[in-house]
Amino acid sequence: MNFELSEDQRDIKRTAREFLAARYPWDEVRRLALEEERGFTDAQWDEMTELGWPELGDLGTVELIVLAEELGYAVAPTPLPSTWAASRLLAAAGEDERLAGGRRAAIAQWEPGQRAPDAPALAWEDGSLSGLKVAVPDAAAADLLVVTVAGGRHVVVEAGAPGLSITRSESLDTTRRLYEVRFDGTPGEELTAEDWESPWLAITVANAAESVGVGQRAMEMAVAYAKERTQFDRPIGSYQAVSHPCAQMLLEVEGARAAVYWAAWALDHEPETAPVAASMAKAYAADAGRRVTSAALQVHGGIGFTWEHDLHFLLKRAHANARMYGDAAWHRGRVAALSL
C-alpha cells in the first residue's frame, strides 16, 4: 500500500493550500466567524465552485480527504464540507444532479436525545416529515437538505418547502453555523440506494481528515511559538516540559493522517476493510485533534487562553469535529463489534 500522493493529488493539495491561505487569513476567519450572518460570503463560495471543489465530493475518496485536510488546516468557514456530505448520499441514490450549478446542501442527522448517529427516529409518513433535527450544519445556506429518518431511510427536502423552519443555534465552533430544523408536515422525496454505508463512511473519513489538518496547524503554531518565546534567556522549546509535548503532537498528527489515508484508500480499493478503517480513522483523529489543540494551548501559556489569540478557533473546531458523525467512543465500539 502506497500512501504517497499522485501528481494530481499533490496539485490539489498545493492549490488548496495557496487558495485558502490567500482567502482565509486569520483576520478573515475571525470576521466570518463572528460577524458574517451565514459564516461565509457568496463570492467565496463562487470561487470554490469555479475551482470545481463542490464536485470533488463525487470523485475518489483520497482526493476528497486531501482537500478536507486543507480546509481543516485553514479553519475555513465554508459550507463545502456540508455540501460534500450531502452530495455523497445523493450520488449513492443517483440524484447528484440536484446539486448542479453550485447548489449547496446539508445533512439533517441528529435529533434531541439521539445518542447514536445511525439511530434517527423522525417519522416519514404519507410523503411528509414532522419533528425536529438539531445541530444541522449550514442549514440556512443550503438549497436542499438530506434528512435521515427512522428505518435508515433518507429524504430530500428543498429549501423553502412548506412547514420547514430553520433557527440558528449557539455553537461551540463559531466557524461553522449550526441550526435547529423543524418539520411540520413538510413534503419531501425519499432517496433509494443499494448501499448507504459507503457514502456515510466517506463522510466520516472526510471529517477525520479535517481534524488532521486542524491538528497540523495547531502543532505548527505551538512549535513556532516554542522557538520564539524565551524564558531565562532560552527558547522555551529547549525545555523538556515543552519539547516533549511538541513531539507527542507530531506523533498524534502523523498517526491520525496515516489512519485517515488508509481508510480513504480502503474505501476506493478495498471496500471490505473500509468499515473498520473508517471507524479507526475517526476515533483516532477525533482524539488526536482534541489532544493536539489542547497541548498547543498549553505550550502558548497565558497568551493562548486569550480571545485575541487565534488558537481557540482550532481548539473549538477540533472539539466540534470530534462529535460529528459519531464520537470516538462510538467508533471504538464499532471497531470492536466489527472485529469479533
Contact 161, 189 (CB under 8 A): no
244-267 average pLDDT score? 97
Considering only CA atoms, which of 307, 300, 310, 315 is closest in space to residue 223? 300
- Look at residue 1 and tell me whether its pLDDT is greater than 80: no
Contact 83, 98 (CB under 8 A): no
pTM for the model stands at: 0.96
Residue 340: the pLDDT is 79
Phi, psi of 20 (to 5 degrees): -70, -35
Considering only CA atoms, which of 265, 205, 257 is closest in space to residue 62? 265
3-state secondary structure of 185: strand
Q: How far is CA 227 from CA 74, 242, 292, 295, 300, in A?
A: 22, 10, 18, 16, 11
Domain 105-191 matches domain 197-339 at the CATH topology level: no
Contact 317, 75 (CB under 8 A): yes
- Look at residue 69 and tell me whether its pLDDT is greater than 80: yes
Q: Is the dihedral of CA 92, 93, 94, 95 positive or negative?
A: negative
Residue 67 CB-half CA count within 13 A? 24
Distance CA 174, CA 258 (A): 28
Domain covering 197-339: architecture: Up-down Bundle (1.20)
Calculate the CA dihedral of residues 87, 50, 75, 236 and round it to 10 degrees.
Answer: 140
Residue 125: the pLDDT is 87
Contact 237, 246 (CB under 8 A): yes
Cell 476567519: give the residue. Answer: 29
Q: How far is CA 170 from CA 121, 141, 143, 173, 192, in A?
A: 24, 16, 22, 9, 33
Query: Beta 234-235 vs 230-231: how paired, if at all?
Result: antiparallel
DSSP assignment of 207-270 equals: HHHHHHHHHHHHHHHHHHHHHH-EETTEEGGGSHHHHHHHHHHHHHHHHHHHHHHHHHHHHHH-
Radius of gyration of the chain (CA): 20
Cell 455540501: give the residue. Answer: 83
pLDDT tens-digit readout, 156-167? 999 999 999 999
pLDDT tens-digit readout, 175-195? 999 999 999 999 999 999 999
For the chain, the maximum distance between any two Cα atoms, rounded to a whole number of angstroms, is: 73
pLDDT tens-digit readout, 73-105? 999 999 999 999 999 999 999 999 999 999 999
pLDDT tens-digit readout, 189-228? 999 999 999 999 999 999 999 999 999 999 999 999 999 9
| Mean per-residue pLDDT of the chain | 96
**Looking at domain 105-191, what is its CATH homologous superfamily?**
Butyryl-CoA Dehydrogenase, subunit A, domain 2 (2.40.110.10)
* DSSP code of residue 57: G
Q: How far is CA 51 from CA 39, 46, 77, in A?
A: 20, 9, 17
* DSSP code of residue 304: G
Domain chopping of the chain, boundaries = 7-99, 105-191, 197-339
